[in-house]
Amino acid sequence: MIVNEIFYSLQGEGFLAGIPSVFVRLAGCPLHCRWCDTKYALSESAGQNYDIGEIVEKVQKWPCKYVVITGGEPMISPELSQLAQQLKGLNKHITIETAGIAYLPDLACDLMSISPKLSNSTPAEPKLADIHEDSRLDTAVLRELIDNYQYQLKFVIDSQDDLAEIQQTLKKTGNINSEKVMLMPQAATRQEFLSKSEMVADLCKRTGFIFCHRLQILLWNNQKGT
């Protein structure tokens, strides 16, 4: 597998925010979101080739139960299932962070952390924008993920206008537990996070959705390895 980085930090987002966790960041994502905060991991070659045993060995450097497999987009990696299985064999709690663009069955996954992409993430470059628009949202895939895994749904909010699109997406996908829907400010820096947080908090109060923290931005200003 092409691994961009393996590091120990706190989970920054979602229901498990604040829990010390080992992160395995796989390289490669076709979406190229405009505001992607891990652009250094988007190319399929943005890392080193490890076999699964090497990844598991590195993860075990830290005496930590929680492992987050992230990217890039881990769900497009053909060896994801094997990696998750081996980590599960060590009694790890496994979160998989995905944009929800691909479904794989029977993964050893305790929490599928799905962040469907809205039109606010479309990149400016026309060729990338076409690929992004073709693949960013597949409600049938979302349905499969939601039906088959414990999940959380995190939407990135750039402005309050995004709410209508989120509501359309939820309606189209159908039967989503609103207590698992989270809104998080679009931000690449601590300053940006703080400046958008109040607007997102107001949206959460209006809708009942949950405010999603981003501790990696608040604490470390989104430095690589956090």
| Interacting residues toward ligand SF4 by CB under 6 A | 29, 31-33, 36, 38, 42, 71-73, 99, 117
**Position 190: which residue type?**
R
Taking the complex as a whole, how short is the minimal distance between the CB of residue 199 and ligand SF4, in angstroms?
A: 20
Taking the complex as a whole, how short is the minimal distance between the CB of residue 206 and ligand SF4, in angstroms?
A: 25
Please say which residue, 30 or 50, places its beta carbon nearer to ligand SF4: 30
73-95 b/e with 16+ CB inside 10 Å = b?
bbbbbeebeebbebbbeeebbbb
- Cα dist. 209→12, 47, 110, 176 in Å? 18, 36, 22, 12
Please say which residue, 28 or 66, places its beta carbon nearer to ligand SF4: 28
- Three-state DSSP string of 41-99: HCCCCCCEECCHHHHHHHHCCCCCCEEEEECCCHHHCCCHHHHHHHHHHCCCEEEEEEC
**Position 187: which residue type?**
A
CB 172: neighbour CB atoms within 10 A?
12
Please say which residue, 56 or 114, places its beta carbon nearer to ligand SF4: 114
Token pair for residue 83?
A: 């990696």
Please say which residue, 25 or 56, places its beta carbon nearer to ligand SF4: 25
Please say which residue, 56 or 184, places its beta carbon nearer to ligand SF4: 184
CA-closest candidate to residue 100, choices 137, 54, 60, 63: 137
Taking the complex as a whole, how short is the minimal distance between the CB of residue 141 and ligand SF4, in angstroms?
A: 13
Taking the complex as a whole, how short is the minimal distance between the CB of residue 12 and ligand SF4, in angstroms?
A: 14
Token pair for residue 218?
A: 């608040």
Taking the complex as a whole, how short is the minimal distance between the CB of residue 132 and ligand SF4, in angstroms?
A: 8
Taking the complex as a whole, how short is the minimal distance between the CB of residue 67 and ligand SF4, in angstroms?
A: 18
Please say which residue, 120 or 207, places its beta carbon nearer to ligand SF4: 120
